[in-house]
Amino acid sequence: GLRGAEMITNTLKPNVAIITDVTHDTSTPMIDAKKEGDVKIGKGPVISYAPAVQNNLREKIINTAEKNKIPFQRAASSRYTGTDTDAFAYSNGGVPSALISLPLRYMHTTVEMVQKDDVENVIRLIYETLKNIKADESFSYFD
């Protein structure tokens, strides 16, 4: 895992990476909401707080969601996200990265479920955020 993201980072040298992945709907049986947080399908994309997530980029995404009335949820990871976000953030000198996740029930089974509005809102949130990033805007981890 994460090798593709590292290859992209080293080959394309992106200025910013907005990563999408899935995350557990914590009302799913056998998922510990006390450990994973309160995340549910139908309540919007999940914006992550984690060491690999660049704070200013994350805040731009949150401000974009609020401005465009896109519902969203928050999640925190104290060490790593377990997604390509980590690979982008820690490769090629550190590509400023953020993670927008899609809530999912029954992950890694044959009956995975998402809510259609959540899918559409992930797309809207990425689109609206990209429209608001200026060509000369910096999200360096070191500024």
Q: Is the pLDDT of residue 42 over 70?
A: yes
Q: Could you tell me if residue 102 is inside a domain?
A: yes
Q: Could you tell me if residue 140 is inside a domain?
A: no
Q: Please give the Cα distance from 85 to 115 (Å, whole number).
A: 23
Q: Which of 106, 110, 123 is nearest to 20 (CA)?
A: 123
Q: Tell me the mean pLDDT in the region 43-47.
A: 98
Full-model pTM:
0.93
Q: Could you tell me if residue 137 is inside a domain?
A: no
Give the lowest-confidence range in 21-25, 34-38, 39-43, 68-72. Answer: 34-38
Q: Could you tell me if residue 95 is inside a domain?
A: yes
Reported confidence tier of residue 141, pLDDT bands at 50, 70, 90: confident
Q: Could you tell me if residue 32 is inside a domain?
A: yes
**pLDDT score for 74:** 98
How is residue 41 written in tokens? 């399908």
In this predicted model, what pLDDT tens digit does every residue of 53-96 receive, in sequence order? 999 999 999 999 999 999 999 999 988 999 999 999 999 889 99
**pLDDT score for 1:** 60
In this predicted model, what pLDDT tens digit does every residue of 99-131 receive, in sequence order? 999 999 999 999 999 999 999 999 999 999 999
Q: Please give the Cα distance from 103 to 23 (Å, whole number).
A: 5
CATH of the domain at 122: 3.40.630.10
Q: Which residues pair with 100 in a beta bridge?
A: 20, 47
Q: Does residue 20 contact residue 101 with C-beta atoms inside 8 Å? A: yes
Q: Could you tell me if residue 142 is inside a domain?
A: no
Q: Which of 57, 62, 65 is nearest to 89 (CA)?
A: 57
> Domain range spanning residue 86?
3-132
Residue 34 φ then ψ, to 5°? -65, -35
Number of domains in the chain: 1
DSSP string computed for 33-63: HHHH----TTS--EEEE-TTB-HHHHHHHHH
Q: Is the pLDDT of residue 10 over 70?
A: yes
Q: Could you tell me if residue 138 is inside a domain?
A: no
Q: Could you tell me if residue 143 is inside a domain?
A: no
Q: Tell me the mean pLDDT in the region 35-47.
A: 95
